[in-house]
Amino acid sequence: MVVLLARLHLIGLMWGDVSLSNILFRRDAGEFAAYLVDAETGELHDKLTDGQRQHDLSIARVNIFGDFCDLEAGGLLDESLDPLTMVETIDARYNELWNELTGAEEFSGSELHRIEGRVRRLNALGFDIAELDINTSADGRTVRIQPKVVDAGHHSRRLLRLTGLDTEENQARRLLNDLDTYRMRRGLQGLDEAVAAHRWLTDFFEPVVNSIPTDMMGKRDPAQIYHELLDYRWYQAQREHRDVPLLEAAQGYIRDVLANLPDEAMISMGPGVRTLANPYDPSLGFQDDPLSEQLPPVIDPWEAEADQIDPAEASHFDIDALRARAKDNPA
């Protein structure tokens, strides 16, 4: 979520309604990737001011704290997690990431290796630097660098270029690490990277994906399956004190892990969670309140105008009326 907010701010989008309910989370290796699903309140600018960013962060703190409190009240939040602590952690991580992405850095002219160090740190975070502003003092003793154009998706773009696989960022990082291991074990370091990647794809990745039963493909996407398989294979190797072949590990993973997983789906609210009487107006309380039956019917304010349109009338094309109008108003 922190990366999502930073990416939006980098392109000049002030969200205006940061909340968990407006974010879609997808599995990304051992983490989750976040996607914006409701930009109705968003404002796109050439560049956000610090004040606009801080305003977005202020909204995020209030909304997300409320979201965590709702989850806590519904018994959906682990007891060890404190809503306020989590909000403060999100805020701190955002500021750290933003400073790394955009902050200026000064150092001695004899430490030019720090330029590459800054680029490598951003690459490790999953960002590419398209433009880097470098200024040297008049006496040449001091160098000041600041990223000007930063783009997310460093690892996923590299994997897509090499293999054609379109994955999440952390999935791509894991698959690229496995590709590097494959090249080392096969002695392919001197081979063109794209050629080695094609061999890895046909020797490792595709056989694993093809071994997954069709009725289980809805449980995880292929890149996530491969990531989880690598973890399974490592633990099996530790238990059995041997190097486990990939396809052997795949059969064990399918049997022990994948077969017992549910298909990916939206999480439904448990029976103990109260339901709003009107989801478009939380101030009206919950359905189980004593006076809820006296409330007006639920109306979606965004769809009200559309519901008033007569489809038959809207789709009717009156050619006679158009001809009469043309006759009354000749060109």
Look at residue 244 in the predicted model and tell me its pLDDT. Answer: 93
Q: Residue 126's closest CA among 163, 147, 151?
A: 151
**Mean pLDDT per segment of 10 residues, for the chain of length 331 residues?**
93 92 90 88 92 94 93 88 94 94 89 87 87 86 87 92 94 94 90 95 96 92 95 92 93 93 64 58 63 64 51 54 65 53
Q: Encode 5-40: b = buried (16+ Cβ within 10 Å), e = exposed.
A: bbbbbbeebbbebbebebbeeebbbeeebbebeeee
With tokens 């939206």, the residue in question is 266
Domain with CATH 1.10.510 in the chain: 1-102
Look at residue 14 in the predicted model and tell me its pLDDT. Answer: 94
pTM (two decimals): 0.70
Residue 49: which region, alpha, beta or left (left: phi > 0; alpha: psi -120 to 50)? beta
Q: What is the dihedral of CA 90, 95, 97, 103, to 10 degrees?
A: 180
Look at residue 206 in the predicted model and tell me its pLDDT. Answer: 96
Look at residue 109 in the predicted model and tell me its pLDDT. Answer: 83
The answer to whether domain 1-102 has CATH 1.10.287 is no
Q: How far is CA 235 from the centre of its chain?
A: 28
Look at residue 310 in the predicted model and tell me its pLDDT. Answer: 55
Look at residue 129 in the predicted model and tell me its pLDDT. Answer: 85
What is the distance between the alpha carbons of residues 101 and 55, in angstroms, rounded to a whole number?
19
Look at residue 177 in the predicted model and tell me its pLDDT. Answer: 93
Across the strands, what pairs with 23? 36
Across the strands, what pairs with 150? 129
